Structure 1
Amino acid sequence: MKILQNKAVKTHIISGFLGAGKTTVLQHLLKQKPEHEKWAILMNEFGQIGIDQQLLPQNSGFEIKELLGGCLCCSSQLPMQIALSRLLNETKPDRLFIEPTGLGHPAELIEQLTEPHWQQSIDMRALVIVVDGSRLHDEAWRTQNLYQDQLKAAEIVVISHTDVMNSEDQHALQQLKIDHQAYVRSWILADHGQVELAQIDLDHVAIQRKIQPLLKVQKTILSQAESTEMPVIKQLPYHYVESTNGYMVAGWKFPKRWQFEFYPLLDVLCDLQDWLRIKAIFSTDQGWKSFNFNPEQFNYKSAEENIDNRIEIITQNPLDWEKLEALLLECQLNLQ
C-alpha cells in the first residue's frame, strides 16, 4: 500500500444518516471544480449494487471510485485502504471527496485517515455530516445510536430539506445546536443541497480525548506507584475528558448492572453549577431514566434500557470532577 503522492490532497468526508441527502450535497460541491483541477470521489455502498455513482458527473476532470459491500468506516476494511492508495497514486487529484455509507461511523474513518502513514498524502478537512431537517421532529429517528454517533463526530453539520421543515423541526434544530455546541463548528442550512466549497474547506481539528480509570481509582494508583502512567482502560467503569473548540467535555461510563437511586441522583445533577449541557442515562430504582439539561430547561424522562450508565457534561471551565464523581457513586445502590 505504497503512497507516492508528493502533495497532501485536501480530503473531505461527506457523511450522514440514510437518506439525509449526502449525494445531493456532493453533486453541488462538484459543480464548483475549477477547470484546471482534477477531483476524485470515493463512494461506499453497503450493498452490492452501486447507484449513487451514476448520479455524479461522468465527464473529464473527475475520477470516481466506488466500493461495494461492507462499510469503509470499519477498521478491518483493507479494501478501502488499497482503493484509496490507488486512487491517490494513479489519479493524483487536487481534491478528494469521500462519501461513506449512511450506516457508517465516520469517526472511525477519520481515525484511520489521520494515522501517520496517511499524513503525507491526505490533508484532512473538517468532517461534514448531512442531516435531514424535515425529520428532526421524529424523536425515535434522531435518538438512534448511529445517528447520535455520527453527529458527535461532526465538525460541520449541513441541514438538508430545509424547505419542508415544520415548526417542530425548527425547535428540534435549536435543541440540536445546544446539545452539540462543543463539537460542531458550523451549521449550514442547505436549500436543495447548495453548499459552497468555502463553507466546508476548514482544517480538521481532532478531539483530544483521554480515557482513564475513575478518579478515585486514579488517586489510589498515584499514591501507590512512582509512575504517573495510568493503565489502559479495557472495560467499564471509566472516566474521560475531551477538549475541543474551547470547550471541555467530561464523562463517565458505568456498567449496566450498576443501579442508582433516582431522587438523590436528580438532586446531584440539579445542584451542579457552571455547566453548558448535561446528558445522561441511568438505571435507577425508578427504571431507566434519561436526562437532558440545558441552563434554561431540566428535562428527564423514562428511557429504554441502555448498554451502560453514562453521563456527559459540557463546560467552558473545569469543575470539581472528583467531587462530582464521589456524589454520583454515593447514589449507587448495588455496590459491586
Structure 2
Amino acid sequence: MQNQVPTNIITGFLGVGKTTAILNLLKAKSDDENWAVLVNEFGEVGIDGAMMAEGGALIKEVPGGCMCCTAGVPMSVGINALLRQKPDRLIIEPTGLGHPKQVMKTLTSEQYENYIDLKATIALVDPRNLSDDRYLSNANFNDQLGVADVIIGNKIDQCSAEDIDVFNDWVTDQEPAKIFHKLVKNGALPLEILDIERRLATERSGTNHQQELHDHSDLEPVFELPPEKPFIRRENQGQGYFSCGWIVGAEHKFDFEQLFSMFSDLQAERVKAVVNTDKGCFAFNVANRVVSVNQMSLEGYESRIEVIDTELLPWEQLETILLRLCGLA
C-alpha cells in the first residue's frame, strides 16, 4: 500500500443518528471513490451494516460490544480486512457505548502508521441531551464529546430554542476549542468536514508493533443464522445497558402495521431493525420513543431486530410477540 487511507471516527451516544449521517455521506461522495465503513454495535445482530448495505461502500461489522476491548483484536481484524481492499476513505463508527480514546490509540499506533491518515474525529450529539443528567453523568457520553475535533448538533428539527442555546453555550465553553461545529437535521453532515485535520496527535499505544496486516482468521465469526433454524436470539450486557437481538429467516414476513405499533409502544431506550414485512423491506429506528421508517431494497435479506435498554426487559415475552407477527407462533 503506497498511500495512507484518510480515516475518520464518527462517534456519538445511542440514538444520536450516526448511521443516518454516514449514509448521507455515502450518498454525497464522488461515484468514482471507493469507501469502506467499519461498524461497531453494542448488540449482537449487526443492524447498522444491513442499513448501510445500499450505500455502495465496503462494510465490515464488529457486533457484540466495544470493538476496542479484548486487546483491540476485533477492531484490528475488521480494519485489516477493509484496508486490503484499498479503499479511498475509511469511516469507523464505534458503538454508542464505546471508548473513542482507545479506538484513536489503535489507529495512531505503529501498526497502522503506514496505512492510516487519521483525520478529525466527529461527534454527533442531540442538543436535548446536554440538559439531561442521565447523559451528562455518563462517562462515555462525555468522553465522546471530549475527544472530538468536530461537534455536530443533530436533530435540531426536534429541539426547542432553549436546547439550541444550551448547545451553543456548551460549544463556546469548550477548552481547547473545537475546530468546527454545526447544527443540522437528519444527519446532514457537510462532506468537507471529513478532510479537517485532527487537532492533536494521539499518543501511540505502545502495545502493538506489528508491521503487517495479519488475518487472525481463527477468531469466532460474526453471529449468523444457522441454515436449519428459522430464527435465533442473542443477548448482551455491559456498562449499565442490556440488549437482545433476533435474526429471522428472510422467508418469514412481519406484519408491518402491527410491528410499527409494537415498536411505538415498546418502553426501550433504543430499537433498531431491518425487517422483511408484508409491505416490503424496511429499516426501523426508534429513539426517544420516536419511530422512523425507511424502505430498503433488501428483499431476501434476513430480518434483524435489536432492542437496547438500561433495564433488563422481558425478552421471552417480546420474542413471543415478534414470532407471532411473522407467523412463527
TM-score range, shorter chain: 0.5 to 0.7
Partner of 1:175: 169
1:44 aligns with 2:76: no
Q: Which residue of the other structure, out of 29, 32, 57, is the alignment partner of 1:33?
A: 29
TM-score normalised by L of structure 2 = 0.58
SS in structure 1 opposite 2:125? strand
Aligned-pair CA distance for 1:183: 4.3
Aligned-pair CA distance for 1:75: 6.3
**Greater Rg over alpha carbons, structure:** 1
CA 1:197–1:116 in structure 2 vs 1: closer, same or farther (change >3 Å)? same
Q: Which residue of the other structure, out of 117, 134, 137, is the alignment partner of 1:143?
A: 137
Structure 1, unaligned runs of 5 or more: 210-336
CA distance in 1, matches of 2:144, 2:134: 16
Task: Report how many aligned residue pairs link the two structures.
Answer: 203
Aligned-pair CA distance for 1:208: 7.3
Aligned-pair CA distance for 1:6: 2.0
Residues 72-96 of structure 1: CA deviation (Å, up to 9, x unaligned): 233612121122112101x110011
CA 1:86–1:140 in structure 2 vs 1: closer, same or farther (change >3 Å)? closer
Residues 309-335 of structure 1: CA deviation (Å, up to 9, x unaligned): xxxxxxxxxxxxxxxxxxxxxxxxxxx
Alignment-mate amino acid for residue 76 of structure 2: Q
Aligned-pair CA distance for 1:173: 1.0
- Give the 5 Å matches for 1:214-225: none
Contact 2:156 2:164 in 1 (8 A): no
Alignment-mate amino acid for residue 45 of structure 1: E
Give me the identity figure in percent.
37
CA distance in 2, matches of 1:14, 1:189: 16
CA distance in 2, matches of 1:159, 1:39: 24
Aligned-pair CA distance for 1:200: 3.1
Partner of 1:112: 106
CA distance in 2, matches of 1:95, 1:21: 20
Contact 2:11 2:100 in 1 (8 A): yes
Alignment-mate amino acid for residue 186 of structure 1: F
Aligned-pair CA distance for 1:57: 4.0
Contact 1:152 1:183 in 2 (8 A): no
Partner of 1:9: 5
Q: Which residue of the other structure, out of 48, 51, 55, is the alignment partner of 2:51?
A: 55
TM-score normalised by L of structure 1 = 0.57
Aligned-pair CA distance for 1:137: 2.6
CA distance in 1, matches of 2:52, 2:38: 11
CA 1:179–1:139 in structure 2 vs 1: closer, same or farther (change >3 Å)? farther
Aligned-pair CA distance for 1:31: 0.7
1:199 aligns with 2:193: yes
Q: Which residue of the other structure, out of 78, 88, 97, is the alignment partner of 1:103?
A: 97
Structure 2, unaligned runs of 5 or more: 204-329
SS in structure 1 opposite 2:153? strand
- Give the 5 Å matches for 1:114-263: 114-206=108-200
Report which structure shows greater RCO (CA 8 Å, sep ≥6): 2
